[in-house]
């Protein structure tokens, strides 16, 4: 496989990044609706239409700027969840938080299978197979990164929500007071390079469990 130019990398990553971020948010809304809160559903946020979830800065600009820093970062418009409508608020908020990274894991497996399919048709339809292989590799990589990043136990990330749901109420309340500083902490970790050093080993471990992991490594990590 040839090394991609900057424009080719942007083209290859565009759809996987857009889907990874928007499906992640839609999954939050879907889980919330299943657990009793229809807020996101009524606002049209339980949809795969990316226009409903796109945040111009977080979904487009930031991922493009961080694509070549070693760890892609981005976000979509948060899905509104009214915890008062949930049957078991603390537990259900944890489940709603897990739905997003869970969706990223499913999409990573899907993109891995896309690569497998593309390899099968490589000799008969190279003009289709090669773009699919590159896009599949980008899809696997971005979804793993977003899954691992979002499971980091820092509020307002999903991992922070899950940790808050697991902590005893008093400890959860104290932990929640750190949320206003969460994004600052994440950005500092990202800029310093510590975020990548902490999360890359976990991301690579997950990658090794997925279909076509050797091809993804060859394309983007060699």
- CA 71, CA 94: separation in Å to the nearest integer? 25
Cis upstream peptide for 156 (omega within 30°): yes
Catalytic, 25? Answer yes
What secondary structure does DSSP assign to 49-91, as a single string?
A: -GGGT--IIIIIIHHHHHTTTTS-----PPPP--GGGSSSHHH
The one catalytic residue in 2, 25, 126, 179 is 25
Q: Are 137 and 115 in contact (CB under 8 A)?
A: yes
Q: Tell me the three state secondary structure of residue 2.
A: coil
CA–CA distance, 79 with 126 (Å, rounded to integer): 40
The answer to whether the CB of 138 falls within 8 A of the CB of 16 is yes
Burial 109-138 (b: 16+ CB within 10 A, else e): eebbebbeebeeeeeeeeeebeebbbbbbb
Supply the residues annotated as catalytic.
25
């Amino acid at each position: 496989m040839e090394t991609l130019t900057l424009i080719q990398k942007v083209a290859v990553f565009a759809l996987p990044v857009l889907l990874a971020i928007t499906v992640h948010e839609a999954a939050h809304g879907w889980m919330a609706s299943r657990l009793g809160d229809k807020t996101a559903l009524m606002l049209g946020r339980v949809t795969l239409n990316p226009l409903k979830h796109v945040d111009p800065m977080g979904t487009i600009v930031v991922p493009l700027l961080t694509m070549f820093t070693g760890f892609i970062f981005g976000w979509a418009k948060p899905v509104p969840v009214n915890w008062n409508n949930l049957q078991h608020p603390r537990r259900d908020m944890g489940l709603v938080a897990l739905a997003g990274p869970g969706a990223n894991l499913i999409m990573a497996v899907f993109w891995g299978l896309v690569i497998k399919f593309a390899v099968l048709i490589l000799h008969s339809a190279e003009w289709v197979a090669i773009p699919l292989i590159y896009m599949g590799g980008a899809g696997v990589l971005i979804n793993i990164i977003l899954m691992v990043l979002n499971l980091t136990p820092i509020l307002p990330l999903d991992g922070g929500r899950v940790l808050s749901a697991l902590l005893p109420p008093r400890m959860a309340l104290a932990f929640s007071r750190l949320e206003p500083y969460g994004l600052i902490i994440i950005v500092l970790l990202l800029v310093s390079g510590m975020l990548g050093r902490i999360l890359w080993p976990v991301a690579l471990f997950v990658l090794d469990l997925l279909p076509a992991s050797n091809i993804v490594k060859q394309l983007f990590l060699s």
